[in-house]
Amino acid sequence: MDIAKIIAKHDVFDDLKSTNKQDAIKEMIACLMTNHPEIDQEIAVDVLSKREELSSTALGKDVAIPHGKLPTLDTLVACVCRFKHGIDFCSFDGSQTFLFFVLLSPETPTGDHLKVVAWISRLFNNDLLRQQLRQAPDKDCMFEILSHFR
């Protein structure tokens, strides 16, 4: 799968400032809305927050994949966010989370949502990718790094 089919260069956000899980969810949704005005902020924050209550989407090893389905969407939207200072996102390994791949999908029953979540999970299991993304100087460099991994 090609990352460029899921996110555009303008969907990568760097150096977010939130210091806790709920504020991070709000900040990431606000970032996603800058390029996807069809997202209803209140609904999106609620969907991701409720998903996190079920179980954390933090995979460990610096990464989380907050995801959910929205009734207002016609197509999948996503973004990558980096918190340089890390967030306690309730990772199973107890580590801070720095890299987030936020995924919102339409409510229509397709397998695309789970296929993308599984692919992102495999992609971010790559130690070199995570290291390069953590060390990238800016969001443009982050996008270039992402575009070279499949």
For the stretch 76-128, pLDDT in tens is: 999 999 999 999 999 988 999 999 999 999 987 666 777 888 889 998 999 99
pLDDT the model gives residue 117: 85
Is 103 among the domain residues? yes
In a domain, 107, yes or no: yes
What pLDDT sits at residue 118?
Answer: 87
Q: Look at residue 113 in the predicted model and tell me its pLDDT.
A: 78
pLDDT tens-digit readout, 1-11: 777 788 999 99
| Per-residue pLDDT, 3 | 78
CA torsion through residues 22, 24, 29, 34, sign: positive
pLDDT at 26: 98
Number of domains, the chain: 1
In a domain, 7, yes or no: no
Q: Does residue 4 lie in a domain region?
A: no
pLDDT value, residue 112: 79
The pLDDT tens digits for 23-48 are 999 999 999 999 999 999 999 999 99
Return the CATH number at 43: 3.40.930.10
The number of beta carbons lying within 10 Å of the beta carbon of residue 139 is 18
Mean pLDDT of the region 42-55: 96
Inter-residue contact 130 to 62 (CB < 8 Å) = yes
In a domain, 3, yes or no: no
| Domain that residue 27 falls in | 14-147
Return the structure tokens found at 58: 């933090």
* Residue tagged active-site, from 10, 67, 113, 148: 67
Active site residue 36: no
Is 1 a domain residue?
Answer: no
